[in-house]
Amino acid sequence: MIGASGFVGTRLLDLLKGDSKYALKNIDLLPSHFFNELTEIGDVRNQQQMDKKLKGADMVILLAAQHRDDVSPVSLYYDTNVGGMEKTLRAMEKNGVKRIVFFSSVAVYGLNKKNPNEEHPKDPFNHYGKSKWQAEQVLQEWYKTHSDWNINIIRPTVIFGERNRGNVYNLLKQIASGKFLMVGDGNNKKSMAYVGNIVAFVKYMIEHCATGYNVFNYIDKPDFTMNELVAHVERVLHKHIPATHFPYWLGMLGGYGFDVLAKITGKKLTVSSVRVKKFCATTEFDASKVLASSFQAPYSLGEGLARTLEFEFVHPRTDEVTFKTE
């Protein structure tokens, strides 16, 4: 695994470590909080390091990526996400490794697309999505001259779970606090994926997608509306959440006010017009291909949310290990 010291990689190491048929190694710029004995420090942007560290591998799972919204300079997205792919493929070829699982993203489709499936036109809007799509294009070109390889691409929607500090966690924290204001009617749907299901699907791909070029969106279905999400948090936490709805125009007006405040103070605030717009948008992605496979997700979306809520807000933890994502 390359880049498995982060949120998803840590859970994947935990899952596969329990199966005796896997001999695991993690190559990452950073040590692993929980699996340092499996981790070697290495940089996916360094060809010599990759050539050396992939020796003896049967398969590569490429997780290494620049994924936050505020990476600077923006060239880092392309150096890591695209250049890292090119160097990984060259190192694999040098070491006779012909199987790869690559973590891409639904960001390759762009914003406000209507339930796109894997064949939907690609229209990434930010550097993260653009660099992920360029990395996929590198894989496409590679496969044209390496048709005996097995290439698997997973495009997950926003991933949440225990220890994650991303947008879903921030939303759940706000709802759980009881200081939550619903902007709009709350009927907009949000595609999400629980980390426990994502890593289970990667294991499924390793064991059942051993030939050809395969691409899968990953979303835990059915999607929740915002109203359903709030109701679910209420049930899990046994807590009444005030159901105050603000009209969209008023929410956007408040968002613009925070934009002005952020510009004046030079601070990055948690509320903005862009965040209000994203909150009120429907973000749905098609998962028919996964649903048509023999994969069985170990948890429903509701169960994944309940496990996360209980871990974060009900039972106190004995450590402060968290993973920051968008």
Residue 201: Cβ-neighbour burial (10 angstroms; 0-12, 13-18, 19+): buried
Q: Tokens for 257?
A: 């006010």
Is 128 among the catalytic positions?
Answer: yes
Task: Say which of 77, 78, 109, 128 is annotated catalytic.
Answer: 128
- Crossing angle of the two packed helices 226-237 and 167-177, in degrees rounded to 10: 60
Cis peptide bond upstream of 124, omega within 30? no
CB 190 within 8 A of CB 224: yes
6 contacts: CB under 8 Å, gap ≥ 6: 28, 63, 323, 325
Any idea which residue has 């939907």 for tokens?
120
Between CA 251 and CA 296 the distance in angstroms is 39
In 3D space, the residue among 20, 22, 25 whose CA is nearest the CA of residue 37 turns out to be 25
Catalytic center residues: 128
